[in-house]
Structure 1
């Protein structure tokens, strides 16, 4: 008699990896093995076919995106870590057993605030994870954990954030994974067409105001040069000079969107971005000006310097793995598109990541 071995299901494999890896990584605050395994047989008959996914934070399972994924046949396996009390910089996570660590270097932060979501995806503990991005909270951990992260156009999907800065987002292993998410959470979704190549693009190292770690800048520039050499992008002979959005973002978050200084900065940056996207469909920048910092914090450096401007402006933006610094830390390449061009952005991201090296932890 021949004994056959049953291949574990996707949910069972995800739960096995969580049980084996999460005591060291601390990506989860809660894991739901019984509920996930009970849900899987029914979910297999639906479009997502029992795809295991994680949700951001204790309330994540009630979010709009999580409910849509569940209805489409996704299986939530647990809630991921978010910053704990006293973490002013919002770049840590606090899991069930301790602080969340970067899967590439345990002495470094994974970024945040979607910290556990990025770690869960990077370590293969979930196929994708929900996130939210009010200043870079999806893109920064995606960059520092070496995964794909998408911040959607502000207002495209429901968000509980009254300031209007935060947008729903997703962390996945690739643009294809993010496309799978958007297909099931966005009404009227139409798959992206393959973009004509080369893509006209603008590259800006610091958006006119940020000082970028030279090694981070070099990794991102090398990725952009590779895209040019492959015929994927064609750089326009122009830059992107914006005003530093720090005080404007803080004013809006603090409940003073009508602050004259904030209004002036937002208007000037919106005008410059409108002109840029009238000439090119794609803006390329580093995701962060710095590499992942230690768990003690970044000091006076704003990890959000290159991301939160697009929370103010509302543009969709993605983070793709660009490579590594010499100390083994992943670096992210940020792709930004016109407002509402989320689907097109995913099509462009797919073309870009097909040229760049794949990052796997």
Structure 2
């Protein structure tokens, strides 16, 4: 119709996480903005260990960079659909790292929104809506559409104060994964995107507390650990707007499963605390596995986090090229 306003997505194809994803709030908002859902993506089946790897009821989901490795999960198929070029964005949900881990291992952008910003059926409060996308710019479009009130992010003045914490004070990180992420951080510092502050942000290991919250029975020691980590994060973000870590302590494992490894070690802390967090491609290990750089910001700072992620992404791409 002549003169009709063009919808923000205007026919852009997108994928939804799992067979029920089409009914999610985010999917309905994307459709209202003109997006076209083209299919539902694979999700690890019931009983899969932490749902962080890609083996489901219909078999394995293959990492497009290394077919012998998992793409991560539980937003496994969404990450693969974006990485393989089938769609430019796909919906996801993140209760322990289920957007950020597959984004990191498939070499795409991933965002977990601030807990409670968008509707979630998870009664524990751990899971937040998220998106996997070809770039941070595509994720900005997603957020504008699902919030229906969010204009373009004003770029933060650069360099942005940031701290790098390789293991958050408790996680053992694969040395090559740590080296790839540290290299990305150093490049961002050298090209003026960030200004590294002294120190990092050490937290207490949230593993037992996350599991207690998930089970619905939270003993006093778990509550105390959660409060202490919240106190430390509040103190950190009072002076420093950006926290940088690896997304995972390990590289993608095989389809036989994760074994005793917790791929969630560096992600689920921010499901407990509620902070928004993103995964930006940082590079590759020597065996061809993608590695993700995690960006964490203050609660509710999703819009500015995406603006920062876009600057980070563009800087890393320009350095690599």
Shorter-chain TM band: over 0.9
- Which residue number in structure 2 is paired with residue 271 of structure 1? 231
| Residue 114 (structure 2) aligned to one of 147, 153, 156 | 153
Contact 1:84–1:92 (8 Å) recurs in 2: no
Larger radius of gyration: 1
Which structure has the higher relative contact order (CA within 8 Å, separation 6+)?
2
- Look up the SS of the partner of 1:334 in the other structure: strand
- Which residue number in structure 1 is paired with residue 11 of structure 2? 50
- Root-mean-square deviation (CA, aligned residues, Å) is 1.7
- Look up the SS of the partner of 1:279 in the other structure: coil
- Look up the SS of the partner of 1:182 in the other structure: helix
| Residue 211 (structure 1) aligned to one of 155, 172, 178 | 172
Cα separation, 1, equivalents of 2:83 and 2:261: 25
- Which residue number in structure 2 is paired with residue 185 of structure 1? 146
Are 2:154 and 1:171 aligned?
no
Cα separation, 2, equivalents of 1:141 and 1:98: 17
Cα separation, 1, equivalents of 2:225 and 2:280: 28
- Which residue number in structure 2 is paired with residue 107 of structure 1? 68
Cα separation, 2, equivalents of 1:96 and 1:268: 39
Give structure 1 stretches of 5+ with no counterpart: 1-43
Are 2:313 and 1:353 aligned?
yes
Q: Deviations over 1:59-116 (max 9, x none)?
A: 0000000000001100000000000244223123357963101000000000000000
- Look up the SS of the partner of 2:60 in the other structure: coil
Cα separation, 1, equivalents of 2:162 and 2:100: 20
Are 2:289 and 1:332 aligned?
no
Contact 2:113–2:130 (8 Å) recurs in 1: yes
Of 302-311 and 346-355, the range deviating more from structure 2: 346-355
Cα separation, 2, equivalents of 1:277 and 1:144: 27
| TM-score normalised to structure 2 length | 0.95
Cα separation, 2, equivalents of 1:190 and 1:278: 25
Q: Deviations over 1:202-231 (max 9, x none)?
A: 100000000000000000000000000001
- What are the equivalent positions in structure 2 for 1:219-230 lying under 5 Å apart? 219-230=180-191
Deviation at 1:357, TM superposition (A): 2.9
Cα separation, 2, equivalents of 1:86 and 1:243: 27
- Look up the SS of the partner of 2:131 in the other structure: strand
- Which residue number in structure 2 is paired with residue 253 of structure 1? 214
Are 2:259 and 1:308 aligned?
no
- Which residue number in structure 1 is paired with residue 304 of structure 2? 344
- Which residue number in structure 2 is paired with residue 125 of structure 1? 86
Q: Deviations over 1:114-163 (max 9, x none)?
A: 00000000001011000000000000000000000000000000000000
- Look up the SS of the partner of 2:281 in the other structure: strand
- Look up the SS of the partner of 2:93 in the other structure: strand
* Count, aligned residues: 316
- Look up the SS of the partner of 2:59 in the other structure: coil
- Which residue number in structure 2 is paired with residue 91 of structure 1? 52
Cα separation, 2, equivalents of 1:131 and 1:92: 14
Cα separation, 2, equivalents of 1:265 and 1:97: 39
Deviation at 1:189, TM superposition (A): 1.1
Cα separation, 1, equivalents of 2:7 and 2:303: 23
Deviation at 1:260, TM superposition (A): 0.6
- Which residue number in structure 2 is paired with residue 196 of structure 1? 157
| Residue 323 (structure 1) aligned to one of 269, 283, 287 | 283
Deviation at 1:262, TM superposition (A): 1.4
- Which residue number in structure 1 is paired with residue 258 of structure 2? 298
| Residue 197 (structure 2) aligned to one of 226, 229, 236 | 236
